[in-house]
Amino acid sequence: MVSTKRLSARNRPARENGSERRAELLAIAGELFATRGFLATTVRDIADAAGILSGSLYHHFDSKEAMVDEILREFLDDQRQANAKIIEEAPDPRTALTELIKRSYSALRKHPAAIAIFQNEANYLAQFERFDYLPGVADEFEKTWLRVLQEGQKAGVFREDLNLKLTYRFIRDTVWTTVHWFNPNGKLSIKSIADQYINILCDGIVTR
């Protein structure tokens, strides 16, 4: 039996967080992953966009996988923290729900690439050990939303005949999928999209 440990850490310069150039490269990679897809983006594409050679990328990152990993983790951590804060501070379920929605929409501004990647590639990436955490995070998000919906139902604010898991999925799908068509330079602001959606979700589209 030979040890299969992958020591490899020959020289480990800017590979830990910190460097500015690193962050820049991550942003470039993220945008490519988001628009072309993770597999369709080659390390040469990333290097070209950054104006360096592909080999040079490995000065900053261990692998292509490590890049997506970092992009996703940053977004997910941020989102998780924000959700927890909302749950803690919201005075009532309806406020909590609208705040969760608003916060999710505003994440589109801060992490557009990460959201697109999470949406498009989570399924594919989940097959690798490195991304074992992905299903867990999705589950945690669902639990958070469900709790708010349940409390609202108990309080009589949300209709009793709702299938809450289904309701959550409708909301989640609508909000996150926005990343595929939202244009930061277009007429519609994130805020107006969020407001309109909250409005429709709460009161429906039919006149009364």
75 interacts with, out of its own copies, DNA, none, CB within 5 to 8 A per kind: none
Is the CB of residue 87 less than 8 Å from the CB of residue 144?
yes
Is the CB of residue 105 less than 8 Å from the CB of residue 61?
no
Residue closer to its own copies by CB (options 133, 176) is 176
Q: Is 167 a binder of its own copies (CB under 8 A)?
A: yes
178 interacts with, out of its own copies, DNA, none, CB within 5 to 8 A per kind: its own copies
Q: How far is the CB of 5 from its own copies (least distance, A)?
A: 29
**What is the chain's alpha carbon radius of gyration, rounded to the nearest angstrom?**
20
205 interacts with, out of its own copies, DNA, none, CB within 5 to 8 A per kind: its own copies
Which residue, among 94, 141, 103, 105, has the nearest Cα to 122 in the 3D structure? 141
Q: Three-state SS for 132?
A: coil
Which residue, among 112, 111, 138, 140, has the nearest Cα to 125 in the 3D structure? 138
Q: Three-state SS for 120?
A: helix
**Contact residues for DNA (CB under 7 A)?**
8, 10-11, 13-14, 19-22, 39, 41-44, 47, 51-56, 58-60, 62-65
Structure-block tokens of residue 87: 């749950």
Contact footprint for its own copies (CB under 8 A): 35-37, 39-40, 94, 120, 123-124, 156-160, 162-163, 166-167, 169-170, 173-174, 177-178, 180-181, 188, 192-193, 196-197, 200-207
